[in-house]
Amino acid sequence: MLSYRHSFHAGNYADVLKHIVLIELLEYITKKEGGFDYIDTHAGAGMYDLRSEHAIKLQEYQQGIAKLKREEWPELATYFDILAKHNAAGGLDFYPGSPIITMHFLRGQDKSWLYELHPKDAEMLVNNIGRIKRARIMHQDGFKGLLSLLPPVSRRAVVLIDPSYEVKTDYNHVVDVLIEAYTKFPTGTYALWYPVVDRTHIDTMQRRLVKSGIKKIVQFELGVTQDQFGTGMTASGMIVINPPWTLHDKMATLLPKLTSVLGRDHTAFYKCQQLVGE
């Protein structure tokens, strides 16, 4: 199945959480001079026009990034710098996806590996980012691509795993891939995004990861309302393996504030917890 298009959802609250975490990972890994590899298993189109027919249809960004005002979020300065770079005069016409956000951090010694299976999005990704030599774009299965790259020559990597989960087996498959990836390269930083549509899928993912033998796992989740099966996505989260030591404290400060601004009602909630220690 390849029906999912992120252009309908760009800039929503799930993107806000995902990209805040990603930026924290990238800021930390670039503190050291040594090169690293960025691997994105489901890269999407790279850039999204919020004036497009797709974005206008659902206008999810209006309940996401549009609700955050730069002057109220000094702790997200880098995030807003990246947004400003792609929007004129303080507007919000375009929302950069993870591949373009990552370009803000990549240096000459770093590499970006971008996988996208949807033919139209892969074509758009090439148009949006293909001229940048540090970006390698592959129109193929990102799960297989990730495993083929590990361990990277640099021995340092940030991996973003961000499937659509339109195929329900993805909930189990992502855990299988993470376990195999960790076995091949246990020192990499892995960031797994997930939607909460049916909480039982997430509970199963967590149990499997906790029992997998993988160390140093943290979880961050933002729920805009209480779990409601059958109503679509009501929360989204990030599970990070080998997080920077600064990440938990940063998110513990940000998540209550994000929940108060992006929550739909009084049942909005967040999670900020360590699933597995050292």
| pLDDT string in tens for the chain (278-residue length) | 456 677 678 899 999 999 999 999 999 999 999 999 999 999 999 999 898 888 888 789 999 999 999 999 999 999 999 999 999 877 899 999 999 999 999 999 999 999 999 989 989 999 998 677 788 999 999 999 999 999 999 999 999 999 989 888 999 999 999 999 999 999 999 999 999 999 999 999 999 999 999 999 999 999 999 998 878 899 999 999 999 999 999 999 999 999 999 999 999 999 999 999 98
What is the strand order of the sheet 111-115 is part of?
Answer: 135-138, 111-115, 37-40, 157-161, 189-196, 235-241, 217-223, 269-276
Q: Give the SS3 label for residue 198.
A: coil
Residue 230's pLDDT is 78
CA 88, 93, 97, 101: dihedral to nearest 10 degrees? 20
Give the per-residue pLDDT at 152. 97
**Catalytic residue at 162?**
yes
pLDDT reported for residue 194? 97
CA max distance for the chain: 50
Query: One of 15, 40, 121, 162 is an active-site residue; which one?
Result: 162
Which of 195, 204, 198 minimizes the C-alpha distance to 238?
A: 195
CA-CA distance, 56 to 10, in Å (whole number)?
Answer: 10
22/11 Cα distance (integer angstroms):
14
Please tell me the pTM assigned to this model. Answer: 0.96
pLDDT of residue 253: 97
Give me the residue spans of the domains in the chain: 6-276
CATH assignment of 6-276, among 3.40.50.360, 3.40.50.150, 2.140.10.10, 3.30.565.60: 3.40.50.150
Measured CA to CA, the distance from residue 166 to residue 117 in angstroms comes to: 13
What whole-number distance in Å separates Cα of residue 59 and Cα of residue 53?
10
Alpha carbon dihedral 86, 42, 70, 246, in 10-degree steps, equals: -130
- Residue 192, both tokens: 């797994």
